[in-house]
Structure 1
């Protein structure tokens, strides 16, 4: 990995940990940032890890000592895919890639009208569209709107319905994008609007995130580069 990619991966990992910390706080869980990792001593919200490593070759034993690693459901985002948590009863849930797109406007114009969600009712409509009937819309709570570094982006049809969206998390050096969705066409259909909105809000910030599978391929088609591996571990 080149020095530039190493810097970008570290910036993306930090940004993602900050987003996980924000989401956890809205559920009453407060984590701790250390030199090697962000960790939460109690279980975080669904789909969010109990730890995110911030530096390569983190101390696995020390990391697991700071989370509830014994109970099923414990999870770790191994930001550099260099830990072995198998001896502690964890298995690999998925492998993914950090992605990076330089600052700059994307080509073409989005079909939907995009804005930043400002009110609890609008957030609820966004969450229901994101959830698609799976029963997890309550994950996104109104307290999320109070965080100054978090921007919930909504793509709306002419009649005002939310049919696409994402979450943008601003940090010092990068803008992290997560939870990209579109009701029709999946993440690939959402990226033009997400990137246009990100550029309008923060024109000087490069965009980072992580994806895998078809969503990774879609991100690459929209100007992203895969810059490094990450791995998510789960204790069954």
Structure 2
């Protein structure tokens, strides 16, 4: 198997840690092997059941697909193909998204004065609605007790203008789920700078389908794609 570059490995493992935290909050049944992270239970919307961890694991992923499908017969579920190399079309899967991993260490910046962190369950619900969440909760209040996770926001409690999530895996700081009400970019809202202020000079990592991230100072680490299972 090909060796995975260290920064790409950090990005993938940070993302697995974040997905695991969200799925655990919903009662997951997870295992992690050399080849993949897998949740054999039901993952919440927008979160995968399988994330590949190595290159060249087509056969192993196909085995896991059979196991996950048994526990998810009534719903569609996803696979994050971390290296954009799996061929799942013959199994009825549809490729619904492609993007790139990004990562890097950014220059130190001043403490942001217009970004804050969610502290209460009620405010977390407001954050999720501003992000675009529906009636079914994805980000449950017990995530507020996880010291690795911060829900950031800009604006007033009743008028959240922008937000993102940071996940501290230890070796790196992952960012995800960024949004702004006026469609400004990650950099334009100052979200990346806010994350960098707490990174302690560790790499910031993420994945995105937005090519503009190449202009942030983060390096493009390689492609990924997301597959979704056939209709139940």
Verify same fold: TM over 0.5: yes
| TM-score tier (shorter) | 0.7 to 0.9
Partner of 1:161: 159
Partner of 1:124: 125
Partner of 1:78: 81
Alpha-carbon spacing, 1:136–1:34, altered in 2? closer, same or farther (3 Å): farther
Q: How big is the shift at 1:197?
A: 2.0
Deviation beyond 6 Å, 4+ runs, structure 1: none
SS of aligned partner of 2:175: strand
Q: How big is the shift at 1:192?
A: 4.7
1:38–1:53 CA contact under 8 A, matched in 2: yes
Structure 2 unaligned spans of 5+: none
Matches within 5 A, 1:129-144: 129-131=130-132, 135=134, 138-144=137-143
Partner of 1:174: 172
CA distance in structure 2 between the partners assigned to 1:138 and 1:190 by the alignment: 28
Count of residues paired in the alignment: 225
2:148–2:168 CA contact under 8 A, matched in 1: yes
| CA distances 1:119-148 after superposition (whole Å, capped 9, x unpaired) | 1122112111111xx625722110111112
1:181–1:190 CA contact under 8 A, matched in 2: no
Length-normalised TM-score, structure 1:
0.85
Q: How big is the shift at 1:56?
A: 1.2
Matches within 5 A, 1:48-87: 48-58=47-57, 59-68=60-69, 71=73, 72-87=75-90
RMSD, aligned CA = 2.5
Alpha-carbon spacing, 1:191–1:169, altered in 2? closer, same or farther (3 Å): farther
Alpha-carbon spacing, 1:34–1:66, altered in 2? closer, same or farther (3 Å): farther
Q: Higher helix proportion, which one?
A: 1
CA distance in structure 1 between the partners assigned to 2:123 and 2:45 by the alignment: 22
Structure 1 unaligned spans of 5+: none
